[in-house]
Structure 1
């Protein structure tokens, strides 16, 4: 259902507001460059600092502009189960193909609470759900036993974006949930190993900046062309690293300013513009990747 290179889209802000024209052009560029699906309102999209109206508008624009050319997986996560459900309803009404729902953060629920959170969402909305497990941000982990229960109990829970950084999880989750359960890497730098162990793609930060290379990398993995995939990995690795040399998505927006000067570069507090050392790292990485 979902595979390949899937950018977690940045949100272009200009003078504090959503720049709709820039966002539409960015969606078109991503599709033209080979991205296989799009994720609006993820972490890289600064969803944490959007109003509800902005959040819904970004998803609606993405769906409208994509116009069925690629699927749209709408970011719908919240630490409040009721708010996550409202996001899912809005995304479904806009025509999104699935919801990306992060594990509930800050509250620190136990594993039964994690299960009940996602179960409630699946019980009350039939939009397909891709779980998002990123303990480095949420503290909460979606354990493999809970993942198994959810996949077994709810057909609309179709996959996971795994940003644990633990490649062993790919095999554990494959054995627990079956080969049809979609596993997408949430970390660009380990996507090669992730795919080799059974993953089918990546919800990517780097694909914002290098969509064609990321699409070619994923196509090589899917074809079992591991040597070619490794060559592209080596070319992209410095960029994977540089885009997290300061708080995300600051370095990503800086990188885009180098290759798409028409993109606005505003970030919202508490995120700030990346440091000079971060910018230098991005500059070097863009050169190594052959993007400038």
Structure 2
């Protein structure tokens, strides 16, 4: 597997009543293909994986794969805090035709490092599809340490990691410990371009939902070693990197896409629509970035 560049952590558009908006979902996929997004993560954190049922989870992944129609790779989010559930979701994604799977560290139950190793090893042995680890301790209360990643990187179908700590020293250590063909993806928009310029392979991005073309161009420049151009493009997105996390993801990015006319306002409890004070902050940033008309 050799997926590089801007990988959008795609939102799951919903109607106001919380049901999945299949038409808008297909249109988002088409938009990302047209804008140069390099790959899509289906039903990750930004896609509200935590509130989609098993059947819906599988349906959204299948719909995104169908809409992408081989034009760009689709990475299915199939992590769970139950190893058995993660195996089931990963197997379903493989059957649906996903190019790879992204598996978040088990959340809430706080496994040991050995528990993490055994969890991922079990999934890799059960399902023969390229698998990407996903470390985001700020959300899971579980930090997969570099030495554990190094052990797992030797499993043939564990092909990479999405490292979302935003810690560039952590990124450097992973690069030192893992072989050059082990794919290293940033999961932190604010530091992603520096991550790639250090030797990373791409960015699993929330910001790409809103400015897919700019994020793709910035990642392309960084992958080519064109630091000045990559940072110039990233500077155009820095305000978005901040404001899209003014409340818990994906609350702000879904509201931004709603303001842009890309999706309806739907989001599922326990997530709630963006608060009024935050709405004005996001709206102002969208205007400053030329994504909304100035009134």
State the TM-score bracket (shorter-chain normalisation): over 0.9
Instruction: Give the match for residue 184 of structure 1.
Output: 185
Runs of 4+ in 1 over 6 A off after TM superposition: none
Instruction: Give the match for residue 22 of structure 2.
Output: 20
Q: 1:219 & 1:290 partners in 2: Cα distance?
A: 22
Q: CA deviation at 1:74?
A: 0.1
Instruction: Give the match for residue 158 of structure 1.
Output: 159
1:247 partner SS: coil
Q: CA deviation at 1:145?
A: 1.0
Q: 1:180 & 1:289 partners in 2: Cα distance?
A: 36
Instruction: Give the match for residue 69 of structure 2.
Output: 67
Instruction: Give the match for residue 115 of structure 2.
Output: 113
Q: CA deviation at 1:262?
A: 4.8
Give yes or no for the alignment of 1:285 onto 2:285. Answer: yes
Give yes or no for the alignment of 1:195 onto 2:207. Answer: no
Q: 1:146 & 1:246 partners in 2: Cα distance?
A: 31
Q: 2:201 & 2:290 partners in 1: Cα distance?
A: 26
Q: Is the 8 A contact 1:129 1:158 kept in 2?
A: yes
Q: 2:114 & 2:269 partners in 1: Cα distance?
A: 34
Count how many residue pairs are aligned between Structure 1 and Structure 2. Answer: 290
Q: CA deviation at 1:115?
A: 0.3
2:43 partner SS: coil
Instruction: Give the match for residue 97 of structure 1.
Output: 99
Q: 2:8 & 2:262 partners in 1: Cα distance?
A: 19
Correspondence list, 1:1-292, <5 A: 1-14=2-15, 15-152=17-154, 154-259=155-260, 261-292=261-292
Unaligned runs of 5+ in 1: none
Q: Is the 8 A contact 1:247 1:272 kept in 2?
A: no
Q: Is the 8 A contact 1:8 1:205 kept in 2?
A: yes
Unaligned runs of 5+ in 2: none
RMSD: 1.0
What is the TM-score with the length of structure 2 in the denominator? Answer: 0.96
